[in-house]
A = this chain, B = another copy of it.
Amino acid sequence: MVKELDEKTEALPDHVGWRLWQASRAWQVEFAAAMRVAGHDWFTEARAGLLGHIGRSGMRQSALIERSAISKQAIQQLLDGLEAEGIVERLPDPQDGRGKLVRYTRKGLDALRDGDRVKMEIERGYIGRIGEERFTALMSALRALAAGQAAAMDEDAGAEGEVVESK
């Protein structure tokens, strides 16, 4: 790790965590800005993350909860906002009186389309900046990491100081 520092400029952080955070933040900022340009100024990071899970055909709110890593209350608050903006609508599930179906409105579908376009544009920009080879390597490493982390979590039940979700 780079640790050379002179008096004036101490080294910026350069560990994986920092780099990942920085890159993630930059992506989100770029995405949100582009979406605002496209006229979707209701757009925020968390909403983007949630919408990414909703398929075009809609889905059960409970399925959305399973799929996202956050609490059902958080999901609900996000959906409340999205519903108020007219991006999604909630319909009663005919199969289950308790459940609700979350579905894109027409406006939501438009946003989804623009979102996909913007994502591809950003990706193209990245490839232009660092080259296709490096980009491919990046994605490959990130996917491998995600897979490895999921595996580590499964196996982790009962190792060391279990600070995690066992509250």
Residue ranges of A at the interface with B (Cβ–Cβ < 8 Å):
3, 5, 10, 12-28, 31, 33-34, 36-37, 48-49, 52-53, 55, 57, 59, 66-67, 69, 119, 121-126, 129-130, 134-135, 137-146, 148-149, 152, 160-161, 163-167
Q: How far is the CA of A138 from the CA of B72 in the complex (A)?
A: 33
Complex contact B139–A19 (CB within 8 A): yes
Complex contact A27–B23 (CB within 8 A): no
User: Of all chain B residues, which has the CB nearest A2?
Assistant: B143
Q: How far is the CA of A21 from the CA of B7 in the complex (A)?
A: 33
Complex contact A69–B13 (CB within 8 A): no
**Most B CB within 10 A of own CB, among A21, A134, A139:** A21
Q: How far is the CA of A135 from the CA of B19 in the complex (A)?
A: 12
Q: Give, as a whole number of angstroms, the nearest-CB distance from A147 to chain B.
A: 8
User: Of all chain B residues, which has the CB nearest A13?
Assistant: B52
Are A37 and B161 also in contact (CB < 8 A) when A23-B146, A140-B134, A145-B23 are?
A: yes
